[in-house]
Each structure stands twice: as C-alpha cells, then as structure tokens.
Amino acid sequence: MSRAIPAPARKETRTTESRNERKDQILSTSPLQSSLLAWLETRAEMAVYAIADGRLAYSNQSFDAQLRDEATLLAEFVARPRSLPAHELISAGNAADAAPVVLPAQTLRDGTHADASDRIEAQEWLMPTCDGPIVVGCFRAQPTSSANHALLRVALHDALTDLPNRSLLEDRLFQAIARSRRNRKLAALLYLDLDQFKPVNDRYGHQAGDIVLQTAAGRMLACVRETDTVARLGGDEFAIVLDEIEQPEQAEIVAAKLIEAIGEPITLPEGATVSVSCSIGVVVCPTNGVNLISLMQAADQAMYACKGMGSGRYCLSAAAPPAIEPGNWMEDNEAEMIGVPEIDRQHETLIALANRLHRAIEDSEDYVLQSALLDELVSYTQYHFASEEALMDRYKDPNAEAHKRQHAQLVAQVQFFRHALSNSDSQMILSALRPWLIRHIRSYDRALGAFLMTRKAREPGASAS
C-alpha cells in the first residue's frame, strides 16, 4: 500500500522570517525526527527543503539560490508524486519514536538541462510526525563524470603504489567468488607480507622504504595476468586475487614467481643495494572457503604460519571450508559498547543492517534489493549521526566540532560512492564503510560516551552508580 503526495495547492512567497517560522514548526513536531533536519541545516553546502501536503513547507537559502530563476523546474519537482510507505508505519501513535525512512532518490537535473551541465540528485527521507508525514530532502551539484572517475580512483587505490586498496580488493574477490560458483572454476587469494622490510626502512629511511614498496608492487604486477588483482592492504602487506584458474597448482606457480621476483636486489637512488623477501599464504575457492570472510581469514592464517617457518616461502592452506560459514560480516564486539544506551542500540542496529546487506549481496544478484538495503543503511547512519550530534549540543561536548567533521566526511564519501558507482557495486561501498565506521566508533564515539557518562553523573538526581 502506498500513496502519493498531491500537487501543490498554491505558490508561496518565501521570506527569511516565514522560512524560520516553518522550520521551527517542523522542528517542534518531534524531537527525534528534528535532529535530522537540524543536522542537515549545519551543512552550508547542502540545499535543504521540506515538502508537506504537496507544498514546499520549508527551504534554506542554498535551495532558494539554486532554483531562484527556475520556477517551472521548482514547481515540477515539488509536485512530483512520491511513493510513501503504508500509513500504518507512520501512524501518530509511533511518529515521535520512529526513525526517518529513506525514500527513492529524486533527480532534479539529469545533466541535459539548458542551464546546467551537472546532474543533481536529491536524497529524501520521510519524517513521520504527529501532524502527518513530511518529506525532507537535500542535494548538492554532483561532479562531472570525468571528475567522478578521478575521485573514484583516488578513493579506491593506494596513494603510494597506485594499487587497489582493501575496499576494491574485497569487491574484486567477491566478484571472483561469484564467477567461481557460476563457471565451476577456481579462484585463489594470496596474502603476501614482505620480510626484512623493517630493517631497510629503519636503516635507510622512509623514502627508501617507499621505493622498496613501489618496486615490489611493480614486480607483483609483472607476475600475474591483467585479469588478476594486486592490492596493498597497508604497511608491507599485499593481497592478490587470481581469477578463474583451472588447478590449485597455478596459484602455487604464481607464488613461486613472486618470491623469486621480489627477492631480486633493489638499488636505491643513493646507490645502496637492498634485498627483501616475502612470505605468502595461499587459499583456493571453494577448496578452503566459499565466501569473503572465510577465504580472507584462511589466507591470513596461512601467511603467518608461513612466516613462522622462515622467510621466502609460500604455504598452501590446508583449511577446509567451515562446516557453518561465518554468519555475520560484522560482529557486535567490533563496534564495542560506549556506555550510552541510546547510542549503543543504534550501533547494534547499524551492524545488523550492514550484515543484512552483506547477506543479500552474497545470496542474490537482485541489485534493486541491494540498492534499497544500502539506502536503508545510509539513511540510518545519518539518523545515528544526527542523534549523536543532538547529544553533543545538549551537553556541550568540547570535541563536538571535530566529531561532527568526521560525520560529514563519512556521509560525503558514501554519497559520492552512491552516485559514482552502479547498483552492482554495493559490496564495494560496504567494504569502504566498514573500517571507517569501526575506527570512528572506537575513537570519537568512545570519547563521546565517556564524556556523556561523566556529565550525566553530575546531573541533579543522578544515582551513585
């Protein structure tokens, strides 16, 4: 069951005074929902608007400036039907406690508009209120396709070696696993750690260490096919995905070539010659695992077992696929509890939503479903950030500015990925989101939790516990 927002009843003249009055009305309808709009309002680069009963109920100055001379486009955009969830989900009885619901994105400009070369796509939420549903949205002009391509490369590649980073590696591995299932061929994952790298870095300096890493990266690329992926995980750790191989021995042949190539001496700019070697853990899909988690865990274990036997070796994993494949892509303990019940519950929900999306990616090629689940995760993340920022403002957190800046950076990154990548790239976005979110919770959110617990303990009537 769905219903559409009707066409606007009349054209309104907006002034600063009336704008603020309408904003105050919206913010007073429900404290929980208002945090999203208030949070969006702090983003100067965002054009923010609200639609209620088919009329433009509120818009900020950025929105007005963007559409000041485009009355026809504005009227069409506001009047456009939006499909809303069933009325039972947004009844007055639960409106005050319900989180904003993500709505399908709305294209304001498709890039062919006479006065604009950039595509503009608005992100919208349904805010259930006791007075009825309100649609809140925001947008900013998107970069051109060429700029998108350049930014996307920066976001998914290691700056030093120009190799794919962990996020892109996980996506390539995920695709290789899917092809392995579909074509009944094998895929291999190699985890590689450079031996004797630290002494070189310590003796000759970081610049020499960078040269060693770049040289090793080039030699790895020379040992594999163009269809394979060489990635830098960080530090002196690398990973390689071998796609569609016929026999496990092919992975062993590549591992032997890598050890020989990387072991060749490297001449530094000042004339010194250094040598490093490597230890490699090799796993094969489906022999050692059939999903992302089990294969990466097995490869990591094989690599460290190999290092224990001496440098310049590779070890083919003897691990069998787990009887029960790992069920959760993220575990609750990865986020940890910060001691604030409201925020801890939201962290648990975020992890549950991420796991739900990951399962959908693994189990199906239904990109419409994946896209909807990704939108739900992104929307809830923004709601979570808005809730945290409301607490920061209420208790005057001295670290609020830096914390909010982190929120803005993550939202901007995810929104960029959402626009720049296709619906089939949900795994890549999820892989990019996970490490950032965990680091954020363990640093900024943990500090926020400690601050809030201290402040609340000082409040009148607080219990001794």
Residue range 332-457 forms a domain whose CATH class is: mainly alpha
pLDDT in tens, 291-307: 888 899 999 999 999 99
What is the C-alpha separation between 358 and 426, in angstroms, rounded?
Answer: 9
Q: Where are the alpha helices (DSSP H) in 285-425?
A: 292-307, 332-335, 341-363, 367-395, 400-420
The H or E element spanning position 103 is strand 101-110
Domain-by-domain residue ranges, the chain? 3-142, 149-316, 332-457
pLDDT in tens, 132-189: 778 888 886 444 455 555 566 777 889 899 999 988 898 889 888 888 888 888 999 9
52 beta partners: 55
What is the C-alpha separation between 344 and 381, in angstroms, rounded?
Answer: 13
**pTM, full prediction:** 0.57
- When pLDDT is averaged across residues 316-342 and rounded to a whole number, the result is 72
Q: What's at 267, amino acid-wise?
A: T
For the domain bounded by 3-142, which CATH number is listed? 3.30.450
Q: Do domains 3-142 and 149-316 have the same CATH topology?
A: no
Contact 423, 368 (CB under 8 A): yes
pLDDT at res. 89: 45
The CATH fold of domain 149-316 = Alpha-Beta Plaits (3.30.70)
pLDDT in tens, 42-74: 655 678 888 887 888 888 877 887 776 677 788
